[in-house]
Amino acid sequence: TIPDLDRCEYLLVIGANPAASNGSLMSAGDPMGRIKGIRQRGGQVVVIDPRRTETADKADRHVFIRPGSDAFFVGALLQVIFAERLARPRHLAAMIDGLDALKAAGADITPAVAARRTGIKADVIRQIAREFAANPHACAYSRCGTSMQANGQLTTWLVCALNVITGNLDHEGGMMFTRPAIDLVALS
């Protein structure tokens, strides 16, 4: 999936630096111009990263995180969304299996627990979770910074789960499935 930057209203960038990578997997020309467009439309761009990256310099907010603790941060976002009954999977509801298991598995990853691991204040974690869940065109995007660490696979999966439980997977402004320029499968 790729972020629908042109219709996104809340972009949560975790461990990615599209200003340096030229958007790598964003599959859109001028990714920073498109991210700037989010802010020009009145949206927000929030970057979670252990260092102040070039992308963080252009965001509304940069939140420092302790390296390697991203799974706790995203887990706490999910915990808040479940605990406060903010999950709205919309069009994905009929396709989801295991939502109760996900909720139970992360119930102990509270913002207070995550704050100790990540260095991000619990109130900031709650605020980001509420903002993300409230926006119908939100997108959580992560890359190398989250995937190349001890819990990288888990973190990447949790970011996908965040997009799913808020209805922002394959939804305008969220993470979208792409269509190939030439559909070789359809041609065969």
Q: What local confidence, expressed as pLDDT, does residue 26 receive?
A: 65
Average pLDDT over residues 90-104: 93
- pLDDT above 90: percentage of residues in the chain: 76
R_g of the chain, CA atoms, integer Å: 16
pLDDT, one tens digit per residue, over 22-44 is: 666 666 678 889 999 999 999 99
- pLDDT above 70: percentage of residues in the chain: 96
User: Rounded CA gap, 53 and 62, in Å?
Assistant: 9
Phi-psi region of 131 (alpha: psi -120 to 50; beta: other; left: phi over 0): alpha
Q: What local confidence, expressed as pLDDT, does residue 188 receive?
A: 77
Round the average pLDDT of the chain to a whole number and report it.
92
Q: What local confidence, expressed as pLDDT, does residue 31 receive?
A: 84
User: Which residues, at least 6 apart from 135, have a Cβ–Cβ distance to it below 8 Å?
Assistant: 9, 10
Q: What local confidence, expressed as pLDDT, does residue 21 receive?
A: 73
Q: Which residue has the tokens 């509270």?
A: 110
pLDDT, one tens digit per residue, over 45-84 is: 999 999 999 999 999 999 999 999 999 999 999 999 999 9
Q: What local confidence, expressed as pLDDT, does residue 148 receive?
A: 83
pLDDT, one tens digit per residue, over 123-147 is: 999 999 999 999 999 999 998 888 8
pLDDT, one tens digit per residue, over 154-165 is: 999 999 999 999
Q: Which residue has the tokens 């996900």?
A: 102
